Structure 1
Amino acid sequence: MSETTASLRKKIDSASDLQSVVRTMKSLAASSIGQYERSVAALAEYFRAVEIGLGAAFRCASGSELFSAPEGRGTEEIRAVVFGSDQGLVGEFNETVSEYAIETLKKETKRIRIWSVGERVHSQLKDAGFEMEALFTVPGSAKGIITLVGEILLSALKGENPADGAEFYLFYNSPLSGAGYAPEGKRILPLDREWIRRITAITWPSKSLPQILDRGNTTFGGLLREYFFVSIFRACAESLASENASRLAAMERADRNIDDLLEALGRSYHRLRQSGIDEELFDVLAGYEVMSK
């Protein structure tokens, strides 16, 4: 079917409208990346403070005996939270983290229970045969992460004693320096002796050494809750930053493709329009010659 100037004009208008939408999404993704990166940067200092506090608490009391899982103690199940996206137009973002989680967890012979953040990773992990416990909606802003983390803690770690040796993992895409992202897996439970050795090796930043005033486990419990909260919060924030970076890259590719399409359509339109003008001129000349004879 041959093109007409009207049909080409319609295609050019449609492509221009689509490019406006793409550029709007680029702007939103770029602005979203900033807020999540700032959240991660601000959280790094607080996370460091929590680790320093835990190290001091373990050195001052018998926390290493209370909260460490006995060496060689087995666990019956593995719990994992996988962070993905609800929306599309993010390239291979969801496939990357899903394949990494599947490759890691398929090696285990224990019962595996997964809590997913985002519909797309949920369906991919479910198709892989995993036991899906819950599906959480991806937060739309940095403020929404707090609510999400609270829901995950209540659902996935409710009543969990760190000394029981339960295994708990986080899988998410972590942003790389400059651009791009890479899948990452982090184990936050059990609190084994290797973890305690690393924590207790962190030196106190001043000469005034701290002391634990309460005789119970209030200090340990509070610091551990903050450790879990910050770990999940940071994983979610990094995942959201990576998601928007992936969306920004996808929109940039789409913008370039639309530019190429508009250029090709413009050439075809002008060529067809010029051909129509030439035909009209030939008709006028032919009519003039007939009238002259």
Structure 2
Amino acid sequence: METLESLRAKLESAGDIDSVVKTMKAVAASNIGQFERSVAALGDYYRTITLGLAAYFRTEKWKDLSEGTNSEINSIGIIVFGSDQGLVGRFNDSLTEFVTQSKKELPSVKEVWAVGERIMLLMKDEGFNCTRLFAVPNGVEAITAMVGEILLKAQESIERGELKTFFIFHNQPKKVAGFVPVKQRLLPLDEKWQQEFEPVEWPTKKLPQVVGNSETVMMALIREFLFVSLFRACAESLASENASRLNSMQRAEKNIEELLDELHHSFHRLRQSTIDEELFDVVAGFEALRQSPK
């Protein structure tokens, strides 16, 4: 049976949890802002790099960068961006399901590089060969170092002939709310990759030209393309993660507010009932004293 003391304790506990949820909600909202601004800025820069590559391929020929390696055609590596934080709903699970479904299109996946320990464990449960683990960046500033490390390891794997093709899998924020898992082909930089830039339209009527040494220009564009592709994938993943956490916190806040409201009503009803009982006892005692013989 509920007592005033037990209800008061529940109210205090629910109030403490409500404070924590509100704090986490504010943090998630703040993080979303910085990651969304980063994604927006990268979108403009990515567009610039794309135009540069499209302009180059209109005037210059570029050899298949995968030529000359000893890797097998079916040596595929995938890079999966997950989350190691809690309260993100099905963030990691839905991404794992998406990667698993993509096995039909990528039947020769040799290695999985996981960004986040939780996504790595889920991928292992699905039978993937997880060979590398990268820590999930805790902010925009930490993304650069992680991207540099991934690119270095990818270059080493290609040079050793272990892997030839790389795909990126991550969650991407929707325009309205929520997120959706997506994939992108990162490497090799072959003829198929070059054909992706053919539909790109030049924004002016003037014909683009390559200024300076063409190979130097191309290598600079390639470095920026690979860097921005990975950086954007990571930033979009982190934005999706915080959006998912914000939604979870909003649902939790609503549930806690409903619980607090119910507890307050129960507390007031019980206290009123206790007061009524005490008044009844006083009245009954007064009546008994009044009716007692003198």
Judge same fold: TM > 0.5, yes or no.
yes
1:37 aligns with 2:36: yes
- Give the corresponding residue for 2:267: 269
Shift of 1:68: 6.7
TM-score normalised to structure 2 length: 0.90
Secondary structure of the residue aligned to 2:19 is helix
How do residues 1-293 of structure 1 correspond to structure 2 at under 5 angstroms?
Answer: 2-63=1-62, 65-67=63-65, 75-105=73-103, 108-158=106-156, 160=158, 166-206=164-204, 207=206, 209-214=208-213, 217-292=215-290, 293=292
The question of whether the paired residues in 2 share the 8 Å contact of 1:69 and 1:193 is answered with no
The question of whether the paired residues in 1 share the 8 Å contact of 2:78 and 2:109 is answered with no
- 1:99–1:19 Cα change, 3 Å: same
One-letter identity of the residue aligned with 2:253: D
The question of whether the paired residues in 2 share the 8 Å contact of 1:84 and 1:121 is answered with yes
- What is the rounded CA distance, in whole Å, between the counterparts of 2:211 and 2:73 in structure 1? 31
Q: Deviation string for 1:59-84 (max 9, x for gaps)?
A: 33320x343779xx961321111111
The question of whether the paired residues in 2 share the 8 Å contact of 1:40 and 1:238 is answered with yes
One-letter identity of the residue aligned with 2:38: S
The question of whether the paired residues in 1 share the 8 Å contact of 2:171 and 2:236 is answered with yes
% of aligned pairs identical?
48
Secondary structure of the residue aligned to 1:230 is helix
- What is the rounded CA distance, in whole Å, between the counterparts of 2:208 and 2:183 in structure 1? 34
- What is the rounded CA distance, in whole Å, between the counterparts of 2:109 and 2:202 in structure 1? 40
Shift of 1:159: 5.7
Secondary structure of the residue aligned to 1:199 is coil
- 1:187–1:202 Cα change, 3 Å: same
Root-mean-square deviation (CA), in Å? 2.4
- What is the rounded CA distance, in whole Å, between the counterparts of 1:204 and 1:114 in structure 2? 37
The question of whether the paired residues in 2 share the 8 Å contact of 1:115 and 1:135 is answered with yes
Shift of 1:188: 1.6
Once the two structures are overlaid, the 10-residue window that deviates more, 188-197 or 11-20, is 188-197
- 1:133–1:212 Cα change, 3 Å: farther
The question of whether the paired residues in 1 share the 8 Å contact of 2:76 and 2:108 is answered with yes
The question of whether the paired residues in 2 share the 8 Å contact of 1:68 and 1:193 is answered with no
Q: Deviation string for 1:216-239 (max 9, x for gaps)?
A: x33322211211111010110111
Shift of 1:89: 0.3
- What is the rounded CA distance, in whole Å, between the counterparts of 1:108 and 1:166 in structure 2? 13
The question of whether the paired residues in 2 share the 8 Å contact of 1:57 and 1:212 is answered with no
Shift of 1:100: 0.5
The question of whether the paired residues in 2 share the 8 Å contact of 1:69 and 1:190 is answered with no
Q: Deviation string for 1:80-108 (max 9, x for gaps)?
A: 11111111101111111111011112554
- What is the rounded CA distance, in whole Å, between the counterparts of 2:9 and 2:188 in structure 1? 61
